[in-house]
Amino acid sequence: ARSRKASQADMPAMPRPTAPVDRAPSAFSGDAVLHAAQNQQQPLGVGMVKPRLQAGTALHFYSVRDLQTMPHQLAPQDSLTFKQGEHFVEIATAPPWFWPEVMKLDYNLLYLRAKTVSRNWLEVVVNRQSGQTAWVDRQAVECVLWPDFLLSVYAVELLDPTNNPMRIKPLLHASPVALPERAQLKPLAMQGDWLRVEILDDAGQARVTGWIRWRDAQGLLIRYSLLS
């Protein structure tokens, strides 16, 4: 699957409300970001948000100043709407700035990175290139925190295996484990900044297990693949 690498950008404020467009923006063309190359300059956040893909529904985006405000007390700035396509649910209208973290609708995959979690709201990254954020009603989506998300993916890959190698234990001074080039690693368990993984061969069979650091203070240290 193709990857798209985000560029460094400041976090802009939400623009004025815009009318949804009836065409998919350029980020929607082709396959989704299934093997996501993470931008180290973007905030790691707390995990992923998965909208409910149901024809005739909408995901509303808000500007929230008071987190005690309830969603029904605010008017949305913009919305993402869904329709039934020939074979699967598709996006009917979207704001021009919408660029999700992951999208492959024919596999029912649509994820936005969650930056902030509150009781009623989730702040999500609505443009993975610029880092622009908006708020969504927490009850309108499924929030998947990083441990559950990474343990559900097909495989992960180290961004910099030379400086961040796989190790025999979840310790920086533990002995490294030799990895084949561009090795795909299946997540097994998580312990803080460390992910226990097993190496997959070309047939998808496990060979060796070890530990990798999946994050640091700057962000993700891995790519992930949702599909084989």
Write out pLDDT tens, residues 152-170: 999 999 999 999 999 999 9
- What's the mean pLDDT when you consider all of the chain? 84
Residue-wise pLDDT for 197-211, tens only, equals 999 776 666 678 999
Q: Say yes or no: 90 and 132 in one domain.
A: yes
Q: Say yes or no: 124 and 182 in one domain.
A: no
Q: Is residue 161 part of a domain?
A: yes
pTM: 0.80
Residue-wise pLDDT for 59-111, tens only, equals 999 999 999 999 999 999 999 999 999 999 999 999 999 999 999 999 999 99
Q: Is 56 exposed, middle or buried (0-12, 13-18, 19+ CB in 10 A)?
A: exposed
Domain that holds residue 198: 153-225
Q: Say yes or no: 136 and 52 in one domain.
A: yes
Q: Say yes or no: 206 and 134 in one domain.
A: no
Residue 115 and residue 47 in contact, taking contact as beta carbons nearer than 8 Å = no
Among residues 146, 178, 206, the one where a domain terminates is 146
Q: Is residue 109 part of a domain?
A: yes
Q: Is residue 67 part of a domain?
A: yes
Q: Say yes or no: 74 and 178 in one domain.
A: no
Among residues 113, 146, 179, the one where a domain terminates is 146
